[in-house]
Structure 1
Amino acid sequence: MEEQQTICQNCESPMEGSFSYCPNCGQKTVEDLTFGVLFNNTISNYFSYDARFLKSFVPLVFKPGFIARQFVNGKRLKYLHPAQYYLFVSVVFFFLFSISTRSGQENVDKMLQKGMESGRAFAADSLSAVKVVDSLALAKSMEILENPNLNIPKEDLEVLDSLKRSRTVNASLSDIEGNSLNTRKLDSLIAAGATKKEKLAVFGVTDSTGVFARTMATQGLKLYESSGQGILAAFYDTIPISMFFLIPIFALILKLLYYRRSRFAHSMVFSFYFFTFLFIVLSLILLVNFVVDIPDWIDWLVALSTIFYLLISLKRFYGQGYFITIIKLWILSFTYLMFVLPFSFGVMVLATFLLY
């Protein structure tokens, strides 16, 4: 008796009715689309959360440099791809990081709002405290100033001293007014519902202003109107994006240090796996602190232990002795911490301001 054939719902290829999977495309022949199936497919397709994730976890954490060397040597189906592994772990880490820093972001927002409100109130109070100099004293003082060869009586010296003090006060008030004039005018325009063009004019923006200067003024206006609310959250949002540039730079430094021992692609594999391990450690620190408040010195000690992990990883992956590896680790750390990270921080601050 001939076995009944069915049609695959995905590729529409004929197959035997007893098949559980299509021999052409690999899809299950019978699979109801439940929430569990949808969730599992999402995780599997976008994060490759399968057996390779667990198989890669143990050697990644407990055998520094081993999994990167295995992947470079050709065992690429046995372990999870380094970029996919990094993507999954980084999503988990930044999710936990956003939760743990939420209260801090709210506190910063409150401080910024309070600081801006206090600054505006101080400027307004200072400008209203203008002292009027007595006209008679002013006249006498001006006469003394115009005749410097006269013998100046004691009472006239007191008048002159009063004039100097009044000039000092007025000069300081002029400085305050010069610094706060734009903000006072801007506050008035905002309260009156002025157009964006009118408010930007306070920043000196005209029709001939360049694109960059106009953009900076526009972002400054937005920051002023919102009292800096959400600026820290916007900065945190730039960190995941910046990592896609920091990892290749890290790999490039490794390539220069080991230019005879590996290709740039090999250093990229090593970098992806190392930063994956780094995010795993940081995620565990955050998770534990959600349950138990661990002392900060323990958190820092665990975080700094990743340096020793990096040392062993470099030795195993590139195959050089500990002495040479320590020297190159010092060069790597010094270059990355003293030049790459500060420059990246500045770029992140600028990007935060421009994208705020």
Structure 2
Amino acid sequence: MVPDAAELRLVDPGAAVLVAAEATTGDFRAAVGAFVLCGVLLLVTGLWPALARAVTRIPKPIASAMLAGILFPICIAPVLAAVQLPALGLPVVIVWLLFARIAPRWAVPAAVLATVVVVLASGEGAELAATPLAPVLSVTWPVFDPLVLVSLGLPLYVVTMAGQNVPGFEVLKTFGYPHPPARVVLASTGAATVVGSVLGAYTLNLAAITAAMMAGPDAHPDRDRRWVASVAGGVCYLVLGLGSGAATALVTVTPPLLITAVAGLALFGALATATTGALEEPATRVVAVVTFLVVASQVSVAGIGSAFWGLVVGGIAMLWLGWRPRRRRELATP
């Protein structure tokens, strides 16, 4: 079963853009050209100090509400899976609940393992057994089609910044990293995107959802030790890459809702933190709620996803309601 655009949008806004752009081009080489453009724009953002500062200084209520809106549809997936796929979803949720009580740090890995078990027990193991374990690397050289560059490359850059990098910076700030090196992050991920695009890596970014898993106290109580979770995650990615055939087959035979449900179980704490940050200041709660609702709606306008439009609508609401930063208000008080 291949996820459709709505299901992919739950996991990765960039993937949803790719699905939406399918009608624009059937030539993957042209899509690779759009990936290259996205990487160049990310690199320019990192090298241009004013632009890097602009994209990382979005007011906290809007940025936190946007992150909460991105996470919300994922975090309700366990409920939907338990109701719509009870034979598969309920065992995974129950395993997560048991481990959340007795060994919280192992709750999500246990839920992932339970997912593999229930999928195999459902009779889908034959396809996995027939799948080659060794991955095959294939280089695709880009073709620069002006129409595809505009219709895919630019929206991909926008959703990467609005749906991944900006929330990713907010995740780091929320969990106590006040000054993430934005320019270095943006420039390095942009350069890596350009290089990796010929291998199908459409964007390398802060990956806000993964960052939320690895940057919080669930990874380690000591903030200075949470890098271990990031390194472990990178190693897991390498292992998945080496076994990408089996991993792809497993994902293919697993209902997309169940995959999203497991991710949702891992993100409850991040959703709580983002919601708290969005509603922390009474003066901006309406703005935060408006931003959250637009992002959580998952609407797509002109091929651009709801994370971007949530930023736009939230910014307009904040300007219209006359919000000013707390420090400026305090200075203005006689």
- Normalising by structure 1, what TM-score? 0.20
- Normalising by structure 2, what TM-score? 0.21
Q: Say which one has the larger Rg.
A: 1
Q: Which has the higher contact order (CA 8 A, sep 6+)?
A: 2
